[in-house]
Every structure is written in structure tokens, then in C-alpha cells.
Amino acid sequence: MQASGYFFNLNLKRKKYKLLSINYSMPTKKETEKSVQNSQRGKRSRAKGQRFETKVRQDLENLGWVVSKWMNTVDYDKLGKIGKIVPAKRKYNPFLKALSIGNGFPDFICFKRQEDGQSFDVIGVEVKGNGYLDQIEKGMCIWLLENRIFSRILIAKSSKEKGKIEYIDFNVKYKNKAQ
């Protein structure tokens, strides 16, 4: 086999094949700076979300709730109907070389003894900085409430007043879809 210019000759088949040349263009300085800025923004956003989640947990504990991380999620079957509660899969981040634990929906399960002293009030709390749930999360909430997994589901969002947390009941915000 001998290479000559852009063509080389195969002795077995006596045909000429064109060599493929692939041009990889290097990203411009502007594109590189933009991707670095987006990466830094993502890091700050994730850190801010974790801090807010910790703050919500501390606030609920101060209100008298026993708070635990919810490690399950709702699984859809192949037809798109919601089927059952399953353990949430852990996510691996190859860049951070870390395995994230606690990817369940909702974020927290909270217990509080009722006044009769015999039973507990069990609620789910989903932490969202802006307070909005996407369509899949709304469907999961409806299923969890219909199957009486939780008595209520609260959405924790940051208030307009700095340092305050606002809790929104899912049934109140999305009452048309939940009933």
C-alpha cells in the first residue's frame, strides 16, 4: 500500500479511494469565553439551589417537622401512565467524579404528630427557587395525592423579601388539575 497525494492504491482490488480529510475548527476566543461563563453560571446555580434546599430543611425543622430526604420517585409505565413508587436512580457526574444521592421527587418527606397524639401528618415538600413545577412533576404530585402517599405537597419557593421562604400548597395552586 503506497500513498500518493490524496489517493492510495490497494493492491488487492486495484481501485483508487479518496482519503477523507476532516477539518476541525478551533473555537474562537469569544465562544470559549462564553462556554466558560456558562459553566461558571451552572456551578453557581447548583450551589445556590443546594443552599436554598438546606435553608428550607432548617426552616421546616424549626417549625416542628421531622424532615428526611425522600429517596423515591414515581415511575411511569410504557403507556405513559404512572405506575408505582420506585427508588430514585443515582446520577453520576463524570466531570466532578461524584455520584449524586437523593434525586427523589419530592425533595423531602416531613412528619409531625397531630394533636390527638395517635397519628402523624405526612407531607411532601418540593423545593423550587421560582415555585414552578413542570408537567411531569405536576403529574407525579397528582398521583402521589390521589394514592394518599402524602396528605399534602408543599412547594417551597424563595419569597420576594430577602431571606424568607414561601410555602405553596399544591392543591391550592393547581386545584383544577389535582381534583
pLDDT at res. 100: 62
Where do the domains of the chain lie, and which CATH numbers do they carry? 52-178 (3.40.1350.10)
pLDDT single digits (tens) 98-132: 666 567 888 899 999 888 888 888 999 999 888 88
CB 144 within 8 A of CB 78: no
> Which of 75, 93, 94 lies closest to 84, judged by CA?
75
Amino acid (1-letter code) at residue 141: C
Question: With 50 as the cut, is the pLDDT of residue 166 above it?
Answer: yes
Whether this model's pTM surpasses 0.75: no
Omega prior to 94 cis, within 30 of 0: no
pLDDT at res. 37: 85
pLDDT at res. 81: 66
pLDDT single digits (tens) 70-104: 888 788 766 666 578 787 777 666 766 666 656 78
